[in-house]
Amino acid sequence: MKKVVIGMSGGVDSSVAAILLKKQGYEVIGLFMRNWDSTINNDILGNPTIDNDICPQENDYNDALEVCQKLDIPLHRVDFVKEYWDYVFTYFLDELKKGRTPNPDIMCNKYIKFDMFVKEAKKFGADYIATGHYARIRDNKLLRGIDDNKDQTYFLSQLSKKQLENVLFPIGDLEKSEVRKIALEYDLITAKKKDSTGICFIGERNFKDFLKNYLPSKEGNIINIETNEVIGKHIGLMYYTIGQRRGLNLGGNKDRSFVVGKNLKENILYVAFSDENNYLISDQAVVDNINWISDNKPTKCTAKFRYRQKDNEVYIEYKDNEIIVKYPEGVKSVTPGQACVFYLNEECLGGGIIKEVYKNNKKIEYL
């Protein structure tokens, strides 16, 4: 009997993935990853601060334990707090300091879930590892999950082909509604549990309050890019992303405003009130940190510049360690720091990190 070690998150997806693996005849072992110490944070000077508004990590573990007991699966815990800090959280903070918009979940998959986790799974003699991701693997290719609305290949785009060897995605062929139905049939505690959203280590906490523990925020001017007048104050450039409309607190009819740029050197946040000048539209991006999962490196394919975005037709030019991605039809809110992920029909080819954005061959000075 082949042995599978599955990452049990305490959510419905990994719960049902475990059910399916058991039904397929595998010996299944659950492994719960503790990636964040939710009881203690450090302030900006490195001093410990007790965080009373903790993320529900222990609740997740208890839910995972109850599911595994019900399915007669052993569950083990592993602590990756230090590794998560070194490889994911430090990256997250460094990107924010640069005024960029990072995606820590992609790095968590690359360095924790499909690296540290795999090494731990091998200690149990695993033939395979499994997760509750909505994705598929066929003929050594990473394919989108069947459920378009839940497909998670975007977050797997920095994995190597080797990291995807002996990996199983049991729910990749299911719609989310089917996953919920199976969990209800087994009367699992996770059957109706709300999907986790946002950044895992922040949990239900206020993003701004959380970040104050780690990065000093610096107030600065908000400037109307159309008139060049100062119309308010921002609370720190790290808290804003391109295209953002909520939380600008400009009052009155200024609620129509949206972020179009940041000047890190001058600590200025630029906003606009109409998109007649297409401030958010770009037609070209420089992408670095390129990772190809597929052997196929195309000059024409489709790409997503953020999760759940529709596919955009792109043309690729290869240049040293970077690539130039052109999308003549124009795409809104392509943002430095976010992932650009490439597809050829159902196959996820790989991806990279957006470095610079251009319109009409002119660099858009987001930063």
Q: For 137-151, write each residue's pLDDT tens digit.
A: 999 999 999 999 999
pLDDT value for 207: 74
pLDDT value at residue 246: 83
57 against 39, higher pLDDT: 57
Task: Name the one residue in this structure whose structure tokens are 């000093």.
Answer: 216
Residues forming beta bridges with residue 29, ordered by sequence position: 5
Number of H helices, E strands in the chain: 8, 20
Strands 48-50 and 40-42: antiparallel
Q: At residue 134, what are phi and psi to the nearest 5 degrees?
A: -85, 90
Do 325 and 314 form a contact (C-beta atoms < 8 A)?
A: yes
pLDDT of residue 9 exceeding 90, the answer is yes
- Categorize the per-residue pLDDT at 200 as very low, low, confident or very high, splitting at 50, 70 and 90: low
Residue 276: is its pLDDT beyond 90? no
For residue 321, what pLDDT band results from cuts at 50, 70 and 90? confident
pLDDT band at 54 (very low <50, low <70, confident <90, very high): very low
**Domains along the sequence of the chain with CATH:** 3-185 (3.40.50.620), 217-272 (2.30.30.280), 281-363 (2.40.30.10)
Cross-strand pairs, 42: 48
356 CB-near residues (< 8 Å, 6+ apart) = 285, 286, 336, 363
DSSP letter for each residue of 96-122: HHTT----HHHHHIIIIIIIIHHHHHH
Cα–Cα separations (whole angstroms), residue 204 to 79, 197, 209, 317: 21, 9, 11, 41
Q: Which of 55, 68, 108, 348 is catalytic?
A: 108
Mean pLDDT over each residue of the chain, to the nearest integer: 90
* Nearest CA among 34, 83, 89 for reference residue 57: 34
Q: Has 55 been annotated as catalytic?
A: no
Q: Is 108 assigned a catalytic role?
A: yes
- How far from 62 is each of 58, 115, 128, 333, 342, CA to CA, in Å? 6, 24, 24, 40, 37
pLDDT digit string (tens) for 97-109? 988 999 999 999 9
Residue 5 φ/ψ, nearest 5 degrees: -105, 120
Q: pLDDT > 70: what percent of the chain? A: 91
- Of 86 and 367, the one with more pLDDT: 86
* φ, ψ for residue 235, nearest 5 deg: -100, 5
pLDDT in tens, 170-194: 999 999 999 999 999 999 999 999 8
Q: Residue by residue, what is the 3-state secondary structure of 277-314? A: CCCCEEEEEEEEEEEECCCCCCCEEEEECCCCCCCEEE
The tokens describing 50, both together, are 């007790």
How many whole angstroms separate alpha carbon 143 and alpha carbon 122? 25
**251, pLDDT greater than 50:** yes
Q: Which of 68, 200, 301, 348 is catalytic?
A: 200
Question: Would you say residue 198 has pLDDT above 70?
Answer: no
pLDDT surpassing 50 at residue 60? yes
